Chains A and B, each alone.
Chain A
């Protein structure tokens, strides 16, 4: 069983819509959760971190964490073509990050 699983893509959404990305993890001891955005040919860029249950909003991004269900999600509101990228979920229970396989999002104009 993979440690971190993400919903399979690719995910195509129209401009202005909400993109919803999901991630589940197997280690109940995980304490820190991250979402990275990776453009083709570039290194991952941290866009959200969340540590406690509930929602965390930052601009057009909202991360949601449910530790009981071992589930973390990312919502992208008012999706823009510039949001087209691969989104990586990462989970940590110490200093090491475990990454999901990523979900590729395409925002069509």
Chain B
């Protein structure tokens, strides 16, 4: 079956630093999505990443804080920049075609 791989699976980072999360899909997909799940809460869409164009961000999320790359149809990265403890969350990537999620990245900012 189709697989969406994310890495790292978890990380503990110092405030003020940045972390780049990678998402790899085993087949070509048109759209990739990045979600955030804060502790005890549901999923919130951060942005939609299309290959060859800039990502589309949802209200409350900006490119300077969450830059996204989409270099090809199977890969995307999300960077969480200048982190603060409020960024501690699970970050998940997803693809439209299968409505499934990667395994997630559990980020803790200290």
State the A residues within 8 Å of B (CB): 34, 41-46, 49, 88, 95-102
Q: Is there an interface contact between B45 and A88, defined as CB atoms closer than 8 Å?
A: no
Q: Which of B45, B98, B103, B104 contacts A96 (CB 8 A)?
A: B45
Is the CB–CB distance between A43 and B33 below 8 Å? Answer: no
The main secondary structure of chain A at its interface with chain B is loop
Is B96 touching A88 in the complex (CB atoms < 8 A)?
A: no
Residues of A within 8 A of B41 (CB): 101
Complex contacts, B101 vs chain A, CB 8 Å: 43-45
B100: contacting residue among A42, A46, A95, A101, CB under 8 A: A46
Closest to B30 in A: A95
Contact partner of A43 (CB less than 8 A), chosen from B44, B99, B103, is: B103
Q: How far is the CA of A103 from the CA of B101 in the complex (A)?
A: 19
Q: Give the size range of B's interface with the partner.
A: 20 to 34
**How far is the CB of B90 from the nearest CB of chain A, in Å?**
8
Per the bound structure, the CA–CA distance linking A102 and B41 in Å amounts to 8
B43 within 8 A of A: yes
Closest partner residue, chain B, to A98 (CB atom): B45
Of B90, B92, B96, B98, the residue contacting A95 (CB under 8 A) is: B96
The interface residues of chain B lying within 8 Å CB-to-CB of A98 are 45
Complex CA distance for A46 and B97, rounded to whole angstroms: 12
Given A44-B43, A99-B43, A100-B42, residue A49 in contact with residue B103 (CB < 8 A): no
Residue contact A43 to B104, C-beta cutoff 8 Å: yes
Name 9 interchain pairs, CB-CB below 8 A, sorted by A.
A34-B99, A42-B103, A43-B104, A44-B92, A46-B100, A49-B99, A97-B43, A97-B99, A100-B42
